[in-house]
Amino acid sequence: MIYFDNAATTLHKPEGVIEAVVRAMKTSGNAARGVHGASLGAAGTVYETRKKLAELFHCPRPDHVAFTANATGALNIAIYGLLAPGDHAVTTALEHNSVLRPLYDLEERGLRLDMVPADRLGNVRYEDFERLLRPDTKAVVCTHASNLTGNVLDLRRIGEMAHRHGAYLIVDASQTAGCLPIHMEEMGIDVLCFTGHKGLLGPQGTGGLCIRPGVELRPFQRGGSGVHSYDRRQPSAYPTRLEAGTLNSHGLAGLSAALDYIAREGVGALHAAEDALARRFYGEVSRIEGVTVYGDHSQAQRAPIVSLNIRDYDSAVVADVLYTDYEIATRAGAHCAPRMHEALGTTEQGAVRFSFSPFNTLEEVRIAVEAIRDLSKE
Amino acid sequence: MRPRLLRLIVSFHTTTAAMAMERYCLENAVPGRLIPIPREITAGCGMAWSAPPEEKDTVLRAAEGGEIEIAGTYVLEI
């Protein structure tokens, strides 16, 4: 199988990740629930993972890295923890449902929400942020890169505008963590939400949020914390405030090993590899008659995603044929990004998404291009 | 039970801070180890750093050097 569904989850993980998970499953106790070797071993792994993530994303404090099961969990904590009915928030048409649905839910309860639109290339106009930001805007919630087009947003610019209006910037880095450099301080990110199983090359069930010191998020869940058992309230100190219940220390052991791999190889080198594949693929398929490619591929920095359609064929049928006839795994249909599909005009047809990882090869790209060429002639 | 000994006990608000303390002390050869938090400090659960009382200055300097927030410092017979 040729796997081009890395924006959903990276399939190929470094061997050290798998070994670390197996080792943890054989040796780890419950992190923060005891003071014996097995528990301390797990707690140590969790702590080292926080430190590595803080370093990677330039989060000033490791104890401001809180773990969740995925980016959706992190975004729910950030959005519900910061926004309340009566607040004003700004988001974009590029967003995934993990951002939109929590915001829509709050909107039904009195949040005032404005949305920065996207054009047919999937681009925003940054002036629109300026236009929509108000003195009472509490937060801008936006993605770093669209999961449908791969277009990247200029977070530094958005962060500067948000802060000038006294608003926080919450970022969904699902498609960029581990792929593109992220510098919380320089980009003005107040809460960075990430998943561990995509560009970070770790196991599913890992994710979290990095919180700028001074940003106060209300707890989303309440429960066991390993400290202050007789307090009626969830402890207030980060990260315990946001981490009720047992952490996935087995998965985090894998994520820790993945972070070691990324540190050794370098985010820049890993992205250069996947970016070269995505651009080669785009360069070839965009010249095939009958193929429509979505997104702005003139961007210097992009997530390694190329979404396309062939004539008016149902994207689900194309993806199915790609898999059954060519053993090429892609994703079809809508991509949990309804406003993006509206902007691109693909609400009915959906799109076939090819998403790349550093472990893909040029030969795989060549085979995929040939497959698209074949299908375009049918 | 075993004879009680006078110990310096440092408590923390979070397990993360306790782990930071353990890492820092191991790297800098600061004496002590993590223990379950004694009931004299809190009847809850959690972990604390335990060291000989005469090492108090060294331990507190370590917490400061590691930028580790501590909840309290005690000398207890445990």
Domain CATH code at residue A197: 3.40.640.10
Q: Are residues A248 and A339 in the same domain?
A: no
CA distance A68 to A66: 7
* A238 contacts on B by Cβ (under 8 Å): 14
A257 and A195 in one domain? yes
CB within 8 A of A212, min separation 6: which ones? A59, A60, A64, A184, A185, A189, A190, A191
Tell me if residue A270 falls in helix, strand or coil: helix
Q: Which of residues A241, A265, A289 is at a domain's end?
A: A265
Please give the span between the terminal C-alpha atoms of chain A, in angstroms, as a whole number.
23
* Same-domain pairing of A27 and A118: yes
Q: End of a domain among A265, A282, A297?
A: A265
Nearest CA of chain B to the CA of A70: how many Å? 20
Q: Report H helices in chain A.
A: 15-27, 37-57, 71-82, 97-108, 126-132, 155-164, 184-187, 249-265, 267-285, 315-326, 338-344, 362-376
Q: Is the pLDDT of residue B66 over 70?
A: yes
Pair of tokens at residue A328? 């090429």
* Residue A111 confidence (pLDDT) above 70: yes
pLDDT in tens, A346-371: 999 999 999 999 999 999 999 999 99
Angstroms from A69 CA to nearest CA on chain B: 18
In a domain, B1, yes or no: no
pLDDT one-digit tens code per residue, A34-84: 899 999 999 999 999 999 999 999 999 999 999 999 999 999 999 999 999
Q: Are residues A136 and A272 in the same domain?
A: no
The pLDDT of A118-140, averaged and rounded, is: 97
What is the maximum alpha-carbon separation in chain B?
36
- CA pair distance A143, A305, nearest whole angstrom: 15
Per-residue model confidence (pLDDT) at position A171: 98
Q: Do B46 and A46 touch (CB under 8 A)?
A: no
> What CATH number does residue A328 fall under?
3.90.1150.10
Judge whether residue A181 has pLDDT over 70: yes
**C-alpha distance from A36 to closest chain B C-alpha (Å):** 8
pLDDT in tens, A253-308: 999 999 999 999 999 999 999 999 999 999 999 999 999 999 999 999 999 999 99
The letter for the amino acid at A326 is Y
Q: How far is CA A301 from the centre of its chain?
A: 16
Question: Which pLDDT belongs to residue A228?
Answer: 80
Q: Does A38 touch chain B (CB under 8 A)?
A: no
Q: What is the pLDDT of residue A93?
A: 97
Supply φ then ψ for residue A320, to 5 degrees: -70, -40
- Residue A219: which of A248, A192, A249, A240 has the closest Cα? A240
Contacts of B61 (CB under 8 A, 6+ apart): none
Q: What is the structure's pLDDT at B45?
A: 67
Q: Do B22 and A44 touch (CB under 8 A)?
A: yes
A329 CB-near residues (< 8 Å, 6+ apart): A1, A2, A3, A4, A5, A11, A322, A323
The shortest CB-CB distance from A228 to any of B36, B44, B69 is to B44
Asked whether residue A260 falls in the same domain as residue A270, the answer is no
A317 and A278 in a common domain: yes
> What is the torsional sign of CA B69, B72, B76, B78?
negative
Give the per-residue pLDDT at B44: 62
Which residue on chain B is closest to A31 by alpha carbon?
A: B15
Q: How many helices (H) and strands (E) does chain A have?
A: 12, 12
Q: Decide if B26 touches A, using CB distance below 8 A.
A: no
Q: What is the pLDDT of residues A60-72, one digit of tens each?
A: 999 999 999 999 9
| Host domain of residue B46 | 6-77
What confidence score (pLDDT) does residue A288 get? 97
- Tell if the CB–CB gap between A227 and B14 is shorter than 8 Å: yes
Rounded to the nearest angstrom, the minimum Cα separation between A235 and chain B is 8
Residues A258 and A271 in one domain: no
Query: Least CA distance to B46: which residue of chain A?
Result: A227
How many separate domains does chain B show? 1
In a domain, B23, yes or no: yes
Residues A123 and A225 in one domain: yes
Specify the pairing of strand A352-355 against strand A305-310.
antiparallel
pLDDT number for residue A373: 97
CA B37 to chain A, closest CA, distance in angstroms equals 9
Average pLDDT, chain B: 92
- State the pLDDT at residue B8: 96
* Close Cβ partners of A150 (under 8 Å, ≥ 6 residues apart): A175, A278, A295, A302, A303, A304, A305, A306, A307, A355
Say if A43 is an interface residue toward chain B (CB within 8 Å): yes
Tell me the C-alpha distance between A253 and A42, whole Å: 8
CATH number at residue B43: 3.30.70
Report pLDDT for B12: 93
Percentage of chain A exceeding pLDDT 90:
94
Domain limits for position A52: 15-265
Mean predicted lDDT score pLDDT of chain A? 96
Residue B38 located in a structural domain: yes
Q: Which two tokens stand for residue A289?
A: 């008659």
> Are B44 and A237 within 8 A, CB to CB?
no
**pLDDT at residue A226 above 90?**
no
Any A CB within 8 A of B16 CB: yes
Residues A284 and A315 in one domain: yes
Sorting pLDDT into bands at 50, 70 and 90, what band is A183? very high
Domain stop point among A247, A265, A283: A265
| pLDDT band per the 50, 70, 90 thresholds, residue B43 | low
For residue A34, the model assigns a pLDDT of 83
- Residues across chain A: 378
Could you tell me if A134 and A259 lie in one domain?
yes
Query: Is the minimum CB–CB distance between A226 and chain B shorter than 8 Å?
Result: yes
The count of domains in chain A is 2
Same domain, A26 and A91: yes
Q: Using a CB–CB cutoff of 8 Å, tell me whether B28 touches chain A.
A: no
Q: Determine, for residues B46 and A228 on separate chains, whether the beta-carbon distance falls below 8 Å.
A: yes
Whether residues A361 and A331 share a domain: the answer is yes
